Amino acid sequence: MDFYVILGVDRAASLSDVKRAYRRLARKHHPDINPGDPESDAFFIRVTEAYETLVDPDRRQEYDEHGGRRPGASMATVGEVEFEGFDFSGPVVGGESASTFGDLFADVFAQSAGGRSRETSTDGIDLHVQLVVPFEDAMRGGTREVTVTRVVRCDACRGTGARLVAEGRCSGCAGSGQSRWTRGHMVFSRPCAQCGGSGRRHHRPCGVCRAEGMVSRTEPVDVPVPPGITDGTRLRLAGQGSTARRGGTAGDLTITVGVEPHPLFRRDGDDLHLTVPVAVHEAALGIRAEVPTVSGRAKVRIPPGTQSGQRFRLRGRGAPSPLGGEPGDLVISVRIVLPPVIDERSKELMRELGRINTEDVRAELLR
């Protein structure tokens, strides 16, 4: 490729013109500005080579005398893009404002980079969903269902993005195997992306996934919920997230579990707390009260003289341990309930109780 063409200057360009053209292209195509872009790297190498030759008077004179092409060379190649020559049969759109040769080459290499499918990550995408379960279901455990929208491999083309068809001439390149386009008066080509440069087609784009190889699908996923799961617990299902393109691995599905509060039970670790109403005469005389638990009903002994706020513990009747250990306890708090005194007989009994029990229950407050 002609070094003057690469820099976008004519053969009579001065040293300052050459330097100015190099700085303009370097600002646009330096590897530090375009990290990971092989086309910009390749073009910058050619720009540097042209600059180092034309900025040195001796090398420039030798280049002008002997030319810049290898014997027998008819086209310049960078990556898959080939410069085939010039076509002056038509006008150049843009007039005086048309791009310089250097800008035209930059556009070509950018098109080449854009046309080539870049390497995609083989790691899938993790998904996150919320799952709210009733308190009773959290204690029992079991399987719950969540609806997830995720990207999965297309079954129609097995993730390839193409489906087999009878062999025929490629319509994209008319069987030539090359895709051609122009920039200004310059003509470029590269292997046809549809047939890989063979000129023949054995596949057609998959219509189900639109040649992406992947489709979006909304479907239910079963989530195993361990007994005794706590509010805010995160469950991870490996491989149940979105799949990476072109045969990569699937990501994970993370489920954040929310447990609805219970009207009676309050959880503290694996222990459950329950407030039990007890009548005055039951607290005074004692009783075996029936109370609810997460695993059915149970009996708790309320001894005579029980005070309001007193606590009793039922071992192993609390919440199951989500880690598989021993279940917690059921902690019962007594709340003494006074009867509605409405008839004279009840009032008289209360007065009699007061005459018998003369102790001042508030005496300690006044000491």
Alpha-carbon distance of 131 to 143, in angstroms, equals: 12
First to last CA, the chain: 107
pLDDT-derived band at 4 (thresholds 50, 70, 90) equals confident
The one-letter amino acid at 106: A
Would you state the CATH architecture of domain 3-115?
A: Orthogonal Bundle (1.10)
Interval 158-179: pLDDT, tens: 777 776 666 677 777 877 878 7
Residues of the chain with CATH 2.60.260.20: 123-153+214-261, 266-366
pLDDT at position 67, please?
Answer: 67
Residue range 329-334: average pLDDT? 97
| Superfamily of chain region 123-153+214-261 | Urease metallochaperone UreE, N-terminal domain (2.60.260.20)
Q: Tell me which of 136 and 100 has the higher pLDDT.
A: 136
pLDDT at position 118, please?
Answer: 43
Q: Tell me which of 265 and 81 has the higher pLDDT.
A: 265
Alpha-carbon distance of 176 to 136, in angstroms, equals: 70
pLDDT-derived band at 71 (thresholds 50, 70, 90) equals very low
Three-state DSSP class for residue 90: coil
pLDDT at position 74, please?
Answer: 38
Instruction: Identify the residue whose tokens are 């008077």.
Output: 57
Taken as a whole, the chain contains a residue count of 367
| Superfamily of chain region 266-366 | Urease metallochaperone UreE, N-terminal domain (2.60.260.20)
| Strand residues in 76-213 grouped as ranges (E) | 76-78, 81-86, 127-133, 142-153, 162-169, 178-183, 186-191, 200-205
Interval 200-255: pLDDT, tens: 766 677 877 877 788 888 999 999 999 999 999 999 999 999 887 666 688 999 99
Residue range 77-91: average pLDDT? 55
Residue range 172-189: average pLDDT? 70
**Axis crossing angle, helix 57-66 with helix 38-54, rounded to the nearest 10:** 100
Q: Tell me which of 289 and 189 has the higher pLDDT.
A: 289
pLDDT at position 114, please?
Answer: 47
**Residue 50 in tokens:** 């042209």
Interval 276-323: pLDDT, tens: 999 999 999 999 999 999 999 999 999 999 999 999 999 999 999 988
pTM check: above 0.75: no
Residue range 167-192: average pLDDT? 72
pLDDT at position 181, please?
Answer: 67
Residues of the chain with CATH 1.10.287.110: 3-115
CA-based nearest residue to 228, from 317, 332, 333, 291: 317
CA-based nearest residue to 131, from 6, 17, 259: 259
Alpha-carbon distance of 139 to 272, in angstroms, equals: 11
